[in-house]
Structure formats: C-alpha cells, structure tokens
Structure 1
C-alpha cells in the first residue's frame, strides 16, 4: 500500500499490510514518546521538495471524482450499480 508522506513529508511510504487501519505501526502513544532515533554519523542530506505536491494531487482527485460522477450519470441505464475492481 502506498501512502503519501505520513511518516515523513515529501516521501512515499510503502507498507506490506496496508495503510491507516491496516498499518503494522504501533498504536500506543507511549511507544512514540519513548522512542529516540539513532543519531546519524554523517550529515543529513538536503531536503528536496516534491515537484508536484498537495495541490496537484488534490486537483487531480477532484477531476477524477467529477469524471466518475459524470460517468455514472451518463451510463446509469447501461451500467446499473457501481463498478468494482477484482
């Protein structure tokens, strides 16, 4: 499962079991409060911004949702019910 940056901004997170509810990350807040990351021995790499960020994804999501709505209206008599992905 891909998720856009819920661990670090400008990164894509890949989890084997899924994201959000299906994530294998600990849910106990005490785990994160007690966690101390190892200190790197080398200097951190410079952060490079993502070329197409939130607004790009948001606009494309809205365009997709609108086109899906229009498809359902246009083909309501041909395809009754939602299309599912196997």
Structure 2
C-alpha cells in the first residue's frame, strides 16, 4: 500500500471532488490530470488535516517543491470547517 494513501483519504473525506479547484491556479479538478495532496510542512507523515492541501500537479511541483519560483500563487487553505459555503448549496435542487 502507498504510504501516502491515508493522507489522500483524509483530505478527500469531507470535500466534493467534483467541484474542487486548485487553490494555486484555480483550475477545476476535471481540467487537470489529478489533484495531489501536499503536506504544507513538507513532512509526509504529518497528516494533520490542517497540514494538507490539494494542488494540481503543476502547482504542487512548481510552487511547493521549488521547481519554479512562483510560490506566491498558492494561498494557504483555511482550517477545516471554516470554508465559506459554496454558492450552489442554497440553490433549490442541488
């Protein structure tokens, strides 16, 4: 088993993958190859939910692992449970 899978499972446990957007570039999940779960403190064994962020492969490698110096694009996520409700949550039929 991949040792990173528990962090992925935890990250996606309370998120809607169909509406998730990369916080670095804003692209929706369906527009990228995948969303990769990144450990913000660079310690892959620290799977505290507030340490995890989902990024597209470009933002994950370029911004967070310093393959390019563009890290100002990625904004830190809010702690779990503090995200603003989505605009579709209050629309009838959704």
TM range (shorter): under 0.3
TM-score, normalising length: structure 1: 0.24
Higher relative contact order (Cα pairs below 8 Å, separated by 6+ residues): 2
If the length of structure 2 is used for normalisation, what is the TM-score? 0.23
Which is richer in helix?
1
Larger CA Rg, structure 1 vs 2: 1
